[in-house]
Amino acid sequence: MKIGKKSSTKENQLLLFPLQKQSIMTYRKFLLSVLAIAGTTVAMAQPARMQVIHNCADKAADTVDIWVNGPTTTKLENVPFRRATAYLNLTPGTYNIGIASKTSTAVTDTFYNLNATLAANTNYVAVAGGIESATGYTPAPPLRISVFATARTAASNPANTDLLVLHGSTDAPTVDVRSGTNTLVNDIAFGNFSSYLELPTADYKIRITTSTGFPTVQTYSAPLQGLSLGGQSIVVLASGFLNPAANSNGPAFGLFVALSSGGALVPLPTTTPESFARIQAIHNCADKAGDSVDVYLNGTRIIDNFAFRTATGFIDVPAKSPVNVGIALKNSTSVTDTFYNLNATLDSAGTYILTANGIESPTGYTPNPAFRLSVFGGAKETGANSGNTDILVMHGSTDAPTVDVRAGSSVLVNDIAFGQYNSTGYISLPASNATISITDATGATTVQRYDVPLGTLSLGGQAVTVVASGFLTPANNSNGAAFGLYVALATGGALVALPVNTTSVNNVASKKYDFSIAPNPANDVLNIMSNAQLNNSTITITDVAGRTVKQVRNNGTQINIGDLNSGMYFLRIENGDSFGVQRFVKQ
């Protein structure tokens, strides 16, 4: 008996062809699904990557175990001080990063823990720092792990080396990292990272300075080319103690490099300091054509749109070799636009003040002494005594005669002419409020009196430059800025106008008017507190540029300031032959 018959080839084709077409379509869909799932799986499988660096200089933690506990658990055993791991591949998720003694056996042995969520395809740097011991370290910020996300395992440009800086020295202050005239990292404090620096791979000198840029704490060699770090990304750590004696004689301060490949940190050697001088620039040219200028140093623009009656802080410039300082009108495009150039060779570690004075315009100003940079060597960035203010005087008014500066019967500055600094250098005065007079060279005629609120301005321990600025006769000088005395602080910024003392020149026996104000800062109303009568007193408020913004006759104990813009102001009360000045801030 035949159970079936053999199909013919044709029958097989008829049966198979419809099925094959359907199968191919189904197979294509299947392949696409598989590829989509595979792609998703690959994306989900991208790990988080983390480098761990031991930078805790506490001797009690000279070697530690580090536990990275989350979706997976990794124990880094016996990690010594100043050592880095390579980047670890970790499953994305939430981790507990813990530090334990070098003899730990379980994650529960950790004495410090940080919870962190690590994202897929993201790189992290985690640095252990701070102090674990209860005593023996001054200061003793507690142990911590500082984490930087979006770390780099290689430079973004193969011709560069990318640097991430961490301040990890517990007893070092807030510092700058500088190289040449460039500030690479500004005001970095303990426990903080910088952003990445992308530097051409070369050999550099870098220096650690205080946050003001001066003095230099130490200078280091950073041989990026010598260490073959082209195309690499590194972490540079401030490590150890500036004062080991106050920190259990622990390891001394230094800069160390952690490579992406891990291993012992590489110390950067100290080297001879760079030759630099420090200069402060003051713009005191009242010519309207130069209301803002550009400043070039050796062909590079270093200050853009430098405004009249402002000052820079002290900045670093090369020393012991010729430099060229060029001045151009605002919005210049290159050094070829400069109209004035000063060539000089500055002393290493010298400090200078450069004040722009004079007239650039060919007409419209009488007299019109030519534009110049007046240079003072031996400048001070701080005062010599915390109870005094050190004052340098500069005569920068083109139409003012030779004058004296007097305080009562004392001659503070004698016969100073346009373009000159006080010939005897700095004057040290008690940091309290006072009044000075500008007189002719004989001292017989008083031109103007000014309040000098050194106490109100909290200028104790500081060094400042007082500049005679503007025109005695604006009508003869294109209606330019009127004459006044202005203070340039060592930190720079807008010059601070000294208030005019309106006491009659025939009534020199003025008395101090004691009062206080609150709140300070204030929003809408200032309350005035005084033991003296306020009736019929005149209250004058001026801004830092010396402009009168409000003046009232007062019979009460309050004054409305709601109409003033936010900023710092001076409030002066005059009553008969008495006066007083207080500074306040309008929020």
CATH number at residue 544: 2.60.40.3080
Question: In the β-sheet with 216-223, what is the strand arrangement from edge to edge?
Answer: 182-188, 175-179, 203-210, 216-223
**Neighbouring C-beta atoms of residue 172, cutoff 10 Å:** 21
Q: What is the pLDDT of residue 511?
A: 54
Each residue's pLDDT tens digit, 312-337: 999 989 898 899 999 999 999 999 99
Q: Is residue 16 part of a domain?
A: no
Domain boundary, last residue among 430, 465, 497: 497
Q: What is the pLDDT of residue 182?
A: 86
For the chain, helix, strand, coil in percent to 5 are 10, 50, 45
Domain boundary, last residue among 473, 497, 521: 497
Please report which confidence band the pLDDT of residue 27 belongs to, taking 50, 70 and 90 as the band edges.
very low
Each residue's pLDDT tens digit, 195-213: 999 999 999 999 999 988 8
Please report which confidence band the pLDDT of residue 461 belongs to, taking 50, 70 and 90 as the band edges.
very high
Is the pLDDT assigned to residue 172 strictly greater than 90? yes
Range from 339-353, 488-502, 508-522 carrying the lowest mean pLDDT: 508-522
Give me the mean pLDDT over the 374-391 stretch. 96
Question: Rounded distance, CA 473 to CA 477, Å?
Answer: 7
Range from 1-15, 388-402, 478-492, 526-540 carrying the lowest mean pLDDT: 1-15
Is the pLDDT assigned to residue 283 strictly greater than 70? yes
Q: What percent of the chain has pLDDT over 70?
A: 88
**Neighbouring C-beta atoms of residue 508, cutoff 10 Å:** 13
Is the pLDDT assigned to residue 102 strictly greater than 80? yes
Q: Is residue 503 part of a domain?
A: no
472 and 402 housed in the same domain: yes
| Helix or strand (DSSP H, E) at 579 | strand 578-586
3-state secondary structure of 17: helix
Single pTM value for the model: 0.63
Domain count, the chain: 4
Domain boundary, last residue among 377, 411, 435: 377
Please report which confidence band the pLDDT of residue 7 belongs to, taking 50, 70 and 90 as the band edges.
very low
Q: What domain range includes position 162? A: 46-274
Strand 233-239 to strand 160-167: parallel, antiparallel, or no bridges (unpaired)?
parallel
256 and 344 housed in the same domain: no
The amino acid present at 96, given as its one-letter code, is: N
265 and 369 housed in the same domain: no
Is the pLDDT assigned to residue 401 strictly greater than 80? yes
Extended beta strands in 367-432, E state? 372-377, 388-395, 403-407, 410-416, 427-430
Question: Rounded distance, CA 239 to CA 128, Å?
Answer: 11
Q: Is residue 41 part of a domain?
A: no
Is the pLDDT assigned to residue 380 strictly greater than 90? yes
Each residue's pLDDT tens digit, 251-281: 999 999 999 999 999 999 999 988 889 999 9
Residue 332 CA, distance from chain mean position: 26
Is the pLDDT assigned to residue 4 strictly greater than 50? no
Residues 6+ apart with CB under 8 A from 450: 435, 436, 437, 438, 485, 498, 499, 500, 501
Q: Which of 11-25, 123-137, 172-186, 554-568 has the highest mean pLDDT?
A: 123-137
| Helix or strand (DSSP H, E) at 340 | strand 340-345
Range from 223-232, 272-281, 304-313, 484-493 carrying the lowest mean pLDDT: 272-281
Give me the mean pLDDT over the 434-460 stretch. 90
Q: What is the pLDDT of residue 222?
A: 98
| Lookup: tokens for 68 | 């990275």
DSSP string of 242-283, one letter each residue: S-GGGTTT-PBPEEEEEETT-EEPEEPPB-PPP-EEEEEEEE
